[in-house]
Structure 1
């Protein structure tokens, strides 16, 4: 278990002034100390659920002993946020980081490097629960504080990149995202040069912006540059490499360059880990056209189709297995599926066809 969780609550406890307690405080204080010991023991043993139980009990008790606005209770909230991160309890992660920062603000603590890091954690936690507005709010605060503290350009670039990603995931914020990504790219280029992996990460985001603005040729050039750097700096089959290939499949398909698209479909197939066992998923998809007649009378339905993915990652031999309103939607569904692209399967080092691939396409009208 990471040492990050071992925030030394005990040392805070013993530094608290004795007059801060009511008469029953010593026994309550002993309970907090015992809970902290149990918390540390659970972490050491790798028992995150046990640690979580102790952390929750501490969190409930520290306001009684030390007050709700106290460094000790702030630390208890921080411990819970960290544990929630490990356990992938995303809403709790954001809630407890927020509580921690609120207490620090109420205590008027110094806005230093540690406080900056916690702002970054809170912004990231909100983004993971799709609260982009909150992520942007704290991401902007973090970036502003980073500049105010005069931290290294490397750290400033990281906060620029993070804020850009929050804008990117917010509707209508593409231009704001682009500005942040461009600043990050420029900082990384100045610090490390254009062939550094951090510079490539910023360029990757700029390429995604190009995709969003339908500038596919520019996007392809950027993704190809990113891929060159990733191939030099990362191990074969790394997720970042595979993801870049997948984006290149998309942009080349949109450009109508089947040959280049196929090249990257094959690259995903040959470069992904040997123990790759995820279900076959498309690298490139398009949405089917909703038949006009069905739109007109409000008909909805779905098609479950079976098909073969050939050795080049293309779809063929599509047939409908079942569905609702098949006669209405089958033609549109099949036309969309025929344009999907996949990474072909590899058997004994050779690309082979994959038969029996299933996909469901749902036709559903938005509520009026």
Structure 2
């Protein structure tokens, strides 16, 4: 199966490119650099991956010729290493800088070679096209190359590649002018493929199920969202580490259940989050569910603004108890509305020695007119 993509949040990993090295004309310098590169990949040493990927490309370009397929693959190895480094440095995002611009140039050069050397719409085009989508700052261009990659994968009837490219396209185009219902549908298409083709605990299927749940929650389809998020938590709990999506799934379920008035179901997930996250006495705790305070009409008519700082207790089930005003500005009605709203919020309880217990926290609510 010809798949070079590996999407987690959504990333394209370095391909091994085992068939790209013709041993009959091997030179010592290139062979050593490429061997070092593969060892760095196995060790997951990102700094060495970039160093040796660059060396292998530069030596390979001399050995094979800049316009060869082998050099194009070596260029993508280096480019993908740069992309991975950028994601590691920027919390999963590719941030445009000189190195990422260099990666884009490498992907462009590889795509040019592929267009010259390979049959039209060869499945191998997917790799440089996806790489370009990640490294370009031009959203319109990203859409263009991603749609081309999807079309190629569909023509090849390669379902896993279709799913991965559609997932990447969803994440890349979300938040841009090109995010449409059709783009949102990509996430559902990928989910359908993974559910049909992968076992329940396959990480790609679980990640796709998480996204399916998030999207259904955003669309107001709470029953579908709950079913998906509960399944996500079940699968992530089997991992030997805490996955960020597990925490977020719990938080979304708290929000959904509270909106439905199902306090008991929400409590289960408040407690689960409390077990996963340490309580910090030195900062405001993050609410899992909140309702904004009403803006007093009389104050709004007069253009009054202000703020209220409150102290409160989060009990063993994550409910707010005994809210007290510590300080405020603007008037007593701001204080009244703040206390009333805060009593409806839900938090993760504090855990001590593995058991939930009461904890004290503070919050400041600001009242400003837009």
TM superposition score category, shorter chain reference: 0.5 to 0.7
Describe the shift of the 1:280–1:154 C-alpha distance in structure 2 as closer, same or farther (beyond 3 A). same
Describe the shift of the 1:74–1:99 C-alpha distance in structure 2 as closer, same or farther (beyond 3 A). farther
CA-CA distance at 1:288 after TM superposition: 2.6
Task: Name the structure 2 match of 1:298.
Answer: 303
Describe the shift of the 1:136–1:210 C-alpha distance in structure 2 as closer, same or farther (beyond 3 A). farther
Alignment pair present for 1:282 and 2:287 = yes
Alignment pair present for 1:6 and 2:51 = yes
CA-CA distance at 1:123 after TM superposition: 4.0
| 2:104 paired residue among 98, 101, 106 | 101
| 1:88 paired residue among 84, 90, 108 | 90
Describe the shift of the 1:351–1:134 C-alpha distance in structure 2 as closer, same or farther (beyond 3 A). farther
Task: Name the structure 1 match of 2:347.
Answer: 342
The answer to which of 256-265 and 173-182 deviates more is 173-182
C-alpha contact (below 8 Å) 1:94/1:122 kept by paired residues: no
Alignment pair present for 1:211 and 2:213 = no
Task: Name the structure 2 match of 1:38.
Answer: none
CA-CA distance at 1:361 after TM superposition: 1.6
Q: What's the secondary structure of 2:356's corresponding residue?
A: strand
The structure whose residues are more often helix, as a share, is 1
Q: For 1:110 and 1:144, how far apart are their aligned partners in 2?
A: 20
Task: Name the structure 1 match of 2:113.
Answer: 110
CA-CA distance at 1:84 after TM superposition: 4.7
1:162-173, aligned counterparts within 5 Å? Answer: 162-170=168-176, 173=179
Q: For 2:217 and 2:289, how far apart are their aligned partners in 1?
A: 13
Q: For 1:142 and 1:76, how far apart are their aligned partners in 2?
A: 23
C-alpha contact (below 8 Å) 1:188/1:199 kept by paired residues: yes
The answer to which of 299-308 and 107-116 deviates more is 107-116
Task: Name the structure 2 match of 1:251.
Answer: 256
Q: For 2:193 and 2:348, how far apart are their aligned partners in 1?
A: 35
Describe the shift of the 1:271–1:334 C-alpha distance in structure 2 as closer, same or farther (beyond 3 A). same
| 1:360 paired residue among 347, 364, 369 | 364
TM-score using structure 2 length: 0.67
User: Could you list the per-position Cα deviations for residues 314-339 of structure 1 after superposition, in whole angstroms to 9, with x for gaps in the alignment?
Assistant: 11111222232142422222222222
Gaps of 5+ in 2: 1-45, 63-71, 116-122
| Paired positions, count | 308
Gaps of 5+ in 1: 18-69
Q: What's the secondary structure of 2:365's corresponding residue?
A: strand
Q: For 2:257 and 2:246, how far apart are their aligned partners in 1?
A: 17
Q: For 2:149 and 2:264, how far apart are their aligned partners in 1?
A: 43
TM-score using structure 1 length: 0.68
C-alpha contact (below 8 Å) 1:5/1:79 kept by paired residues: yes
CA-CA distance at 1:119 after TM superposition: 4.5
Task: Name the structure 2 match of 1:55.
Answer: none
Q: For 1:181 and 1:303, how far apart are their aligned partners in 2?
A: 41
C-alpha contact (below 8 Å) 1:160/1:180 kept by paired residues: yes
CA-CA distance at 1:258 after TM superposition: 0.3
Describe the shift of the 1:255–1:75 C-alpha distance in structure 2 as closer, same or farther (beyond 3 A). closer
C-alpha contact (below 8 Å) 1:5/1:82 kept by paired residues: no
